[in-house]
């Protein structure tokens, strides 16, 4: 418990969990993010929507420090993601779009090592790993390597890994893509509870029903530009967005 307390104490007292200011990102000559700016408040449940190739994963990669960028700045609870990356990375748990696990570790070891990487002592890392595997119904696979898991189980393992260091912000890149209904509900319940504890969630999804059910705020990105941002009710009533929404829901 002590470690979590020390760890949380490193969070700067800011009401803004994620702040993106005039961010531009190129992949060689291709401008993937074009001067985007928005803020996600502490405790918000934010859905980031947009058609395939719009720039959602690129934004997440920049926010989590996995990708560099050419101009602008990105802050996590006031910390600069480039200059103060040790702080920003500890505050975020990332559930990525695709799985990227060490093939030689059991899923229990994967979670323990990830927790230890973020500074938990071994006994606490093991406890946390066991609790999450239990919560996401993976306990009977704890000594398996990740390749022995089904697609839906790998999704759950991604979520466990994102949560293992008890982050303040959970970023999820299409967490329920390809999940059956039971798993979708399991994930939705967990996310709702996590958000009710005051944690901030940043979710990308192609399922409008998911955004409608879970989130409070919606941002829409298209071709690297933010085309809409605001309260869920206002965004969903905005008829001018039908073309973009058609593209999003067309992939369901």
Ligand X SMILES: Nc1ncnc2c1ncn2[C@@H]1O[C@H](COP(=O)(O)OP(=O)(O)OP(=O)(O)O)[C@@H](O)[C@H]1O
| Token pair recorded at residue 125 | 């890392």
The number of beta carbons lying within 10 Å of the beta carbon of residue 4 is 14
**What is the rounded distance in angstroms from the CA atom of residue 7 to the CA atom of residue 87?**
10
Exactly one of 6, 8, 22, 53 binds ligand X (CB under 6 A); that residue is 53
Position 57 contacts ligand X (CB under 6 A): yes
Distances in Å between the Cα of 120 and the Cα atoms of 3, 111, 125 are: 6, 11, 6
Distance CA 134, CA 37 (A): 39
Question: Please, what is the minimum distance in Å from the beta carbon of residue 225 to ligand X?
Answer: 12
User: Which residue from 11, 45, 49, 58 is in contact with ligand X, where contact means CB under 6 A?
Assistant: 58
- The verdict on 57 binding Mg ion (CB under 5 A) reads yes
- CA 17 vs. chain centroid, Å, equals 13
CA 200: distance to chain centroid?
A: 10
* Residue from 8, 10, 37, 52 in contact with ligand X (CB under 6 A): 52
Q: Which is nearer to ligand X, 108 or 154 (CB)?
A: 154
* Pairing state between β 45-49 and 200-204: parallel
14 or 97, CB closer to Mg ion? 97
Q: Which residue of 17, 32, 94, 160 would you call a contact of ligand X, by CB under 6 A?
A: 32
Q: Which stretch binds ligand X (CB under 6 A): 51-59, 76-84, 106-114, 120-128?
A: 51-59
Interface contacts to ligand X, rule CB under 6 A: 27, 30, 32, 50, 52-58, 97
């Amino acid at each position: 418990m002590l470690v979590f307390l020390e760890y949380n104490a490193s969070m700067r007292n800011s009401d803004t969990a994620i702040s993106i200011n005039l961010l531009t990102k190129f992949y060689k000559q291709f401008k993937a993010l074009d001067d985007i700016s928005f803020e996600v408040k502490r405790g918000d449940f934010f859905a980031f929507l947009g058609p395939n190739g719009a720039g959602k994963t690129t934004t997440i990669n920049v926010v989590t420090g996995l990708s560099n960028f050419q101009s602008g700045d990105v802050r996590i609870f006031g910390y600069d993601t480039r200059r103060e990356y040790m702080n920003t990375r500890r505050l975020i748990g990332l559930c990525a779009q695709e799985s990227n696990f060490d093939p030689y570790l059991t899923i229990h070891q994967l979670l323990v090592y990830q927790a230890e990487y973020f500074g938990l002592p071994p006994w606490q890392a093991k406890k946390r790993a066991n609790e999450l595997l239990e919560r996401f119904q993976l306990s009977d696979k704890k000594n398996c390597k990740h390749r022995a898991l089904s697609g839906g189980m790998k999704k759950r393992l991604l979520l466990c890994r994102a949560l293992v260091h008890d982050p303040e912000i959970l970023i999820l890149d299409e967490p329920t893509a390809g999940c059956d209904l039971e798993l979708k509900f399991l994930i939705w319940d967990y996310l709702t509870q996590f958000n009710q504890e005051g944690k901030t969630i940043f979710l990308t999804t192609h399922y409008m029903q998911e955004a409608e059910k879970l989130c409070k705020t919606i941002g829409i990105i298209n071709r690297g530009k933010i085309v809409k941002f605001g309260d869920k009710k206002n965004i969903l009533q905005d008829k001018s967005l039908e073309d973009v929404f058609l593209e999003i829901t067309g992939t369901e």
